Amino acid sequence: MTRRGEGGGARRTSVGRVLARRRGARSNAVAKPNGKAPAVALPVIGLASDHPCAGCAQCCTYVAIEIDAPTTMTEYDYLVWYLVHPGVSVFVDWNGSWFVKFETRCQHLQPNGMCGIYETRPAICREFDWKECERHITDEPADKWLFRSSDELMSWFEKQRPKTYRKFVAFQRAQRRKKTSKELRRIQVSEVPLPLA
Ligand code: SF4
Ligand code: SF4
């Protein structure tokens, strides 16, 4: 992962392998006689009620980006940072690949669940076969691990990688010590405690 401050200080994750992945796809094909696209694009108005994707548009409501499996304390810290944002989760697939997932609805997804740019939709939408969608593969959970919050990640971390977890807790403490005295000079601290939520 690129550390913060590199690349002009941009707040981003840049990894050796960057892969946008969708775990499903809209399979809302317009009928194409002889397997060929029609000469004139027809409006896509809906799916047959028995189509496997009927009533679902889940795969058009997020993006998932592959990230390096965490090995350094900074990389674990990035995971915590992702997971303190609502709508962001991290998952590990059955190949052991790590992904960060952002809940974000495609701007072309129509209220009726159809693709508004069907003829010109991105290749990743075009290529995905709904038969590979997790909704149709029911004999195993979709992900090996799924973290929807930093608390979930830390619980997993403590249980699955206890030695590294202890190292990470020490890393966090050291980070806090390093910054606290300097920062306290620049922030105002109220003497009245905030009410607990
Ligand atoms: S069933 Fe799967 S492939 Fe079809 S729309 Fe839903 S998430 Fe996408
Ligand atoms: S472009 Fe179309 S198929 Fe692709 S995510 Fe958006 S609505 Fe779905």
Nearest atom, ligand 1, residue 52 CA: 1
For residue 98, the cross-strand partners are: 67, 92
107: tokens are 């701007």
Nearest CA to ligand 1 atom 6: 56
106 Cβ inside 6 Å of ligand 2 = yes
114 Cβ inside 6 Å of ligand 2 = no
Nearest CA to ligand 2 atom 4: 125
- Whether the per-residue pLDDT at 64 is higher than 90: the answer is yes
User: Which residues lie with the beta carbon below 6 Å from any ligand 1 atom?
Assistant: 24-27, 52-53, 56-59, 130, 133, 135
- Closest CA relative to residue 147, chosen from 136, 138, 160: 160
DSSP state of 3: P
> Which amino acid, one-letter code, is at 153?
L
- Whether the per-residue pLDDT at 15 is higher than 50: the answer is no
- Whether the per-residue pLDDT at 6 is higher than 60: the answer is no
Model confidence, pTM:
0.72
Helix (H) or strand (E) run with residue 146 in it: strand 145-147
- Closest CA relative to residue 167, chosen from 46, 48, 87, 76: 76
Determine the 3-state secondary structure of 186 from DSSP.
coil
> Which amino acid, one-letter code, is at 58?
Q
154: tokens are 């830390």
What average pLDDT does range 48-69 have in this prediction?
89
- Whether the per-residue pLDDT at 175 is higher than 50: the answer is yes
Flag the least confident range among 3-17, 44-58, 91-105, 120-134.
3-17
Query: Cβ(54)–Cβ(48) under 8 Å?
Result: yes
